[in-house]
Amino acid sequence: MSTLTIEGWWKPSPDAMSTPIEDIHFYINGADHRRLEEAEEKLQRTHEKECWVDVDMSTLELEVPEGYGPLTDCKFRVYLDFEERGHFHLVGHRASDDSLIYTNAVLVDQLH
């Protein structure tokens, strides 16, 4: 479906500022894309602030910059902008210290 290359961010602790890291690469397959679209539609119906979509690590083909992986508990965070368009970004934690690693957001409809 789509291989994405998106700028990554590292947040070492909840009260720390996020620091940009190099690009994070991952693959969105058809099933992932459908789950993201379903999450966007759910948010549009329910007016919830955000929702989380599980990630299939076996198909994600995740590549993070050296020193920032491996990641655990990866999920897609989905939210709507002011025009009710769905955005998502990959969120996970570095296995070595549980610090937050995430990507910039992408529009769900850019995956078509």
pLDDT at 88: 97
Q: What are the mean pLDDT values of the chain's consecutive 10-residue runs (112 residues total)?
A: 93 96 96 96 96 94 96 96 95 96 94 70
Backbone angles phi, psi at 58, to 5 degrees: -70, -20
* Domain count of the fold of the chain: 1
Res 110: pLDDT: 82
Q: Looking at the chain, how many residues does it have?
A: 112
Domain with 39, as residue range(s), is 2-111
pLDDT of 111: 78
3-class state of residue 105 by DSSP:
coil
| Dihedral sign (CA 99, 103, 107, 112) | negative
pLDDT at 91: 98
